[in-house]
Amino acid sequence: MTRSAAAPGGTLVLDGEGLARAVRRDRAVTGWLALARADDLRVITSAATLVEVVRPRINRPALEWTLSRLIVEPVTEPIARHAAALLGDAGLHGRTYALDAILGATALAAPGPATILTSDPGDLTALCGGRVTVIKV
Peptide bond into 121 cis (omega under 30): no
Beta strands in 1-137 (DSSP E): 11-14, 42-46, 71-73, 114-118, 133-136
7 DSSP 8-state letter: -
CA angle 35, 63, 43 (to 5 degrees): 30
Which CATH architecture best describes the domain 3-136? 3-Layer(aba) Sandwich (3.40)
Per-residue pLDDT reduced to its tens digit, 54-113: 999 999 999 999 999 999 999 999 999 999 999 999 999 888 899 999 999 999 999 999
Q: What pTM did the predictor assign?
A: 0.91
- What does the alpha-carbon distance between residue 114 and residue 93 come to, in Å, rounded to a whole number? 24
pLDDT of residue 8: 54
**What ranges do the domains of the chain cover?**
3-136
